[in-house]
Amino acid sequence: MKRPVFAANWKMNHGPTEARAFLRTFLSRYKKRTDRTVIIIPPAISVTTVAAGLARRTDILLGVQNIHSQPKGAFTGEASAAMAFDAGARIALIGHSERRHVFGETDAATALKCRLALDNDLAPIVCVGETIDQRNAGSTEETILRQLRAALAPVSADEFSRILVAYEPVWAIGTGRNATPDDAAKEHAVLRAELGIRCGSTKVAAGIPILYGGSVNASNAAGLLAASGVDGLLVGGASLDATTWSDLVST
């Protein structure tokens, strides 16, 4: 996966009609490049619409915001990893802060989801991050390492090259307040070191993209990307406007 990586998490925005309009504008502005990776992660109801719109743009990957922790069953309103792949997705967000803190997703569930993503040829973006209380208590590293270790517990050494990680401090998501480049660099270094321990190879760990997420916008993107160890950006609100997004991914 080429770096930098730019991932657009639309959250609960852009139904099929808006998704088609977004793609018309975005694809007319963003021409194919080979020096970066762009990922669009729409809400579930728009996944097949975006898949169809990207049919001729194999340079842009499609992701899903969530998968269920079981492969199939009576789980109304949910979608499995296999379904996501069948719909055209090749990426899956795992353990996003809103899944953890709004929907109560546990560390154990992230492990199950990570395993199912890999089993169904989806590259997981494993999200970790601390709340403001955890940050103020000085437990940032303890928190993000616990989350990372839990999610990656079922991942074998030869599978680490298939994953991505996103550091997204909860206090910076949707607040307009983002970590400084130095903050991001510090926590990315912690995560990179742990990846090296987990997979048993600093070389493999160096190849795992670690993204920063949290109030990223066009004005701070370049500074964050320039920070040591920041391999890309996981973007929420600033990815919803096609013109803004095309400018940002061209940073």
Residues tagged active-site:
96, 168
| Chain Cα centroid distance, residue 181 | 18
Cα–Cα distance between 162 and 160 in angstroms, integer?
Answer: 5
Cα–Cα distance between 213 and 236 in angstroms, integer?
Answer: 8
Concatenated DSSP letters for the chain?
--SSEEEEE--S---HHHHHHHHHHHHHH----SSSEEEEE--GGGHHHHHHHTTT-TTEEEEES---SSSSSS-TT---HHHHHHTT--EEEES-HHHHHTT---HHHHHHHHHHHHHTT-EEEEEE---HHHHHTT-HHHHHHHHHHHHHTT--GGGGGG-EEEE--GGGTTSS----HHHHHHHHHHHHHHHHHHHT-HHHHHTS-EEEESS--TTTHHHHHTSTT--EEEESGGGSSHHHHHHHTT-
Report the sign of the C-alpha dihedral through residues 201, 113, 221, 243, in that order. Answer: positive
